[in-house]
Amino acid sequence: ANASSNDASKGWQKVGTVKELDKNGQLLVENSPIGAVLVVGTSKAAKNLMAVNPTCTHEGCTVGWKSKQDKFVCPCHGAEFARDGKVKQKPAKKPLKTYLAKIEAGSVFVKT
């Protein structure tokens, strides 16, 4: 084991700032090192943060987050996904890929 490596921080990728997240209650990053990521939530309820790959599992459009309805909606053919990524409405059949998310020192991190 290499004592100088910080294992605790491994696997967490910074995707943006808390300021960006809190502005709209969501943070979309199209080109993060782990691909497209959509984080939803705010720092006020950090334990409820959710992150998904927003690429629709139907034909690959980018889904949007509807906070009032608590779901992701695809603009292309109307597929809907719950906050945990599960399909709520066809034509999508597979769930969105989800990630753990956290806030630390003013930044938003997603677990790869």
CB count within 10 Å of CB 28 equals: 19
Report the alpha-carbon distance of residue 7 to residue 5 in Å, rounded.
Answer: 6
Which CB, 21 or 37, lies closer to ligand FES? 37
Prior bond of 95 cis (ω within 30°): no
Count interface residues toward ligand FES (CB under 6 A): 12
Say whether residue 79 binds ligand FES (CB under 6 A). Answer: yes
Residues between 16 and 75 with contacts to ligand FES, criterion CB under 6 A: 56, 58-61, 74
Single residue of 27, 38, 52, 92 touching ligand FES by CB under 6 A: 92
CB count within 10 Å of CB 14 equals: 14
Binding site for ligand FES (CB under 6 A): 56, 58-61, 74, 76-79, 91-92
